[in-house]
Chain A
Amino acid sequence: EAQVTQNPRYLITVTGKKLTVTCSQNMNHEYMSWYRQDPGLGLRQIYYSMNVEVTDKGDVPEGYKVSRKEKRNFPLILESPSPNQTSLYFCASSSFSGGTQYFGPGTRLLVL
């Protein structure tokens, strides 16, 4: 089954404790992206990757890092989480940039 998986689905952490949210897709897509969803703000892009070892900032990249060492995986790293990063996070992939994106199930993060 074609899918995008994210882990963990739910996470509670404390300010400053580094965390990683994993994302994996099995569709051999080149383009992957991370979004955060906040009330009244919709989906905002954090980072994206056009292909392996090619990543770039989206609209709200501050406080986040990403890497793309393999085509299927695109982890999101919060080096020092802060409460304003409490949000619902989605990973997405598509066969090319601007194409129809397939989303993961989401990771709900609470930073205390």
Chain B
Amino acid sequence: DQQVKQNSPSLSVQEGRISILNCDYTNSMFDYFLWYKKYPAEGPTFLISISSIKDKNEDGRFTVFLNKSAKHLSLHIVPSQPGDSAVYFCAARAYGGATNKLIFGTGTLLAVQP
């Protein structure tokens, strides 16, 4: 049972436009959400995160929005650049107990066209 879902395997966007990557989750106990970016032949790198007590977090060109009632988060990249082309994973953390592990989605491949 996939608790964190990224329903779009791929997304293509023109340079300079907005990229919107979506993520849905099913577990209402998740309290912290992260986005990771992965280039080919490299490990995922942390991009941005948001706590469940917030609905928006911004870092430069990257903004993450959280809609708890819909159990949905999205990553906005504005403006998109060719260097943003990568696989993006969303991840969620379930709080509580001794092990607060991260659960990852399946990833979305973003291609930013020059």
Choice from A4, A40, A98, A104 contacting B102 with Cβ under 8 Å: A98
Provide the bound-state CA to CA distance between A45 and B6, in Å. 17
Label chain A's interface by main secondary structure: strand
- A45 near B43 (CB under 8 angstroms)? no
Question: Is B89's beta carbon under 8 Å from chain A?
Answer: yes
Residues on A close to B: CB < 8 A?
4, 33, 35, 40-45, 48, 50, 56, 58, 90, 92, 96-98, 100-106
Query: Least Cβ distance of A110 to chain B in Å?
Result: 15
Top 6 A-B pairs ranked by shortest CB distance? Answer: A98-B100, A103-B43, A42-B106, A43-B104, A98-B93, A42-B104
Which of B12-20, B44-52, B58-66, B68-76 forms part of the interface with chain A? Answer: B44-52
Residue of A nearest to B93 (CB): A98
Interface residues of B (CB under 8 A from A): 4, 6, 9, 32, 34, 36, 41-46, 49, 89, 91, 93, 95, 98-102, 104-107
Q: Are B42 and A101 in contact (CB under 8 A)?
A: no
Please give me the residue from chain A that is nearest to B45 by CB atom.
Answer: A103
Given A40-B106, A42-B105, A43-B104, A97 and B43 contact (CB-CB distance below 8 Å)? no
A13 to chain B, nearest CB (A): 20
